[in-house]
Amino acid sequence: MEETKKRVVYLDTANATYVNREVLQEMMPTFNSCYGNPDSIHSVGRTARELVEIAKRRIAMAISAEPREIYFTSGVAEANNWAILGLARANKSKGNHVIVSKVEDKSILLACKQLEKEGFEVSYIGCDENGVVSLAQLMGSIKQNTILVSVNVANGEVGTIQNLNAIARTVKEKDIIFHCDASWALGNMPLDVKSIPIDAMTLASDNIYGPKGVAGLYLKKSVEIESFILGEGGKRPDHMNVPAVVGFGKAVELATKEIMVSSHKTKLVRDYLYKSIKEKIENVSLNGHQYQRIANNLNITIDCVDAEALMYMLDEEGICASVCGTRLEPSETLIAMKRTPEQIYSSIRFTVARNVTREDVDYVVEKMVDMVKKLREISPLRKSSKEAK
């Protein structure tokens, strides 16, 4: 007897996406016919080099940069580590003060901890309850010896889009290097490094239906950076992952084509998901800015519900979602947004994939209603709130 295929509704694109069919098609020849090392000078190597250059041109065009300003890394963590450590170390003669927001990716926050061990001073600026980084606090934190500021374009946990133009111009008025992590913004909103004064920007592949194991760092040609990996091959040495680079370039081209139309379609499904949850489940609140947010992100708090338990229960029904932290290591973003431990414990993130339909949403909400009811019946938070009354 043939097994019935389990229904899968994927709502975790902030962690990874499937590889677009056109992207995969573009990658395939690089595994067995265009397999050369792009640093080799023979014909097979030159063919691989041309494929890498095509990827650079595609990514550069998408963000209004030059191809020579695009560097490839093994992932977002490496790109962010390289940006923070490399830019700070290369410019240490000008000062030793770095500013980052408290709602940055862990790869940036941990790189800053490393800088502190090396004698740098790091200021961590806060945000409001919607996750919007405080421009006033940023301005108040800038010193004579500030050499680097890093603020994300959009937060990956709650989806809040930062006031990037105002932040970048405030930083550049003081002649300070500005880096931004655009990992979750790429493909969700237009990015332009010419109209906004950005010196360095991290770009992700696996959030835009490209391959894993590759990311990019845009680096303005006039900006100095110290190599993060030692070896032959310029600023970012080591053999390049040509298949992934080729796929990344194609994914960026597709993701930024008619971006406003595709983002609007995703937003409609995301909004329908939130509306349906609010209608069927009581005491649900939004995390992040209601309007100033990327199209695919929905992070909510469901009062008196263990979000991690809910995530596992959803997974049993083929529904993929995520929680941003655990009881032992809670979300630093939600802490910065002044959420209580109970609210953080009850927060779950849904990031909508392009192939998710309204019918999928109906299925998700139908399953969630029963799950939330069961979890609330056994929730110690529910019991304590009843006792307080």
DSSP letter at 18 equals P
133, 103 Cβ separation under 8 angstroms: yes
Residues 36-58, mean pLDDT to the nearest whole number: 91
Residues 37-47, mean pLDDT to the nearest whole number: 88
49, 389 Cβ separation under 8 angstroms: no
pLDDT of res. 389: 44
Cα(223)–Cα(277) distance, rounded to whole angstroms? 47
pTM of the predicted model as reported, rounded to 2 decimal places = 0.93
Q: How confident is the model at residue 310 (pLDDT cuts 50, 70, 90)?
A: very high
pLDDT of res. 237: 66
Cα(117)–Cα(89) distance, rounded to whole angstroms? 13
pLDDT in tens, 207-263: 999 999 999 999 999 999 999 877 666 777 667 899 999 999 999 999 999 898 999
Residue 1 has pLDDT above 50, yes or no: no
pLDDT in tens, 161-181: 999 999 999 999 999 999 999
Of 56, 53, 83, which is closest to residue 227 (Cα–Cα)?
Answer: 83
* Secondary element (H or E) of residue 61: helix 43-63
pLDDT of res. 8: 95
**For residue 240, is it left (φ>0), alpha (ψ between -120 and 50) or beta?**
beta
Q: Are strands 297-302 and 347-351 parallel, antiparallel or unpaired?
A: antiparallel
Query: Angle 298-302-307 (CA atoms, 0-180°, nearest 5)?
Result: 85
Tell me which of 32 and 371 has the higher pLDDT.
371
Mean pLDDT over all residues of the chain? 94
Domains parsed from the chain with CATH numbers = 21-255 (3.40.640.10), 259-388 (3.90.1150.10)
Q: Is the dihedral of CA 18, 23, 25, 29 positive or negative?
A: negative
DSSP 124-186: EE-B-TTS-B-HHHHHHH--TTEEEEE--SB-TTT-BBP-HHHHHHHHHHTT-EEEEE-TTTB
Cα(188)–Cα(207) distance, rounded to whole angstroms? 10
Q: How confident is the model at residue 327 (pLDDT cuts 50, 70, 90)?
A: confident
Residues 6 or more apart whose CB falls under 8 angstroms from that of 351 comprise: 11, 12, 13, 14, 15, 296, 297, 298, 322
Question: What percentage of residues in the chain have a pLDDT greater than 90?
Answer: 86
Residues 8-25, mean pLDDT to the nearest whole number: 96
Of 350, 110, 353, 89, which is closest to residue 224 (Cα–Cα)?
Answer: 89
pLDDT in tens, 22-37: 999 999 999 988 888 8
Residues 117-121, mean pLDDT to the nearest whole number: 98
Strand order in the sheet with 284-287: 284-287, 297-302, 347-351
Q: How confident is the model at residue 384 (pLDDT cuts 50, 70, 90)?
A: low
pLDDT in tens, 255-272: 999 898 999 999 999 999
Residues 173-192, mean pLDDT to the nearest whole number: 97
pLDDT of res. 326: 78
Cα(167)–Cα(147) distance, rounded to whole angstroms? 15
Helix (H, G, I), strand (E, B) or coil at 219: strand
Of 133, 200, 197, which is closest to residue 170 (Cα–Cα)?
Answer: 197
pLDDT of res. 182: 98
Q: How confident is the model at residue 83 (pLDDT cuts 50, 70, 90)?
A: very high
- Other beta carbons less than 10 A from residue 285's beta carbon: 13
Catalytic residues: 324
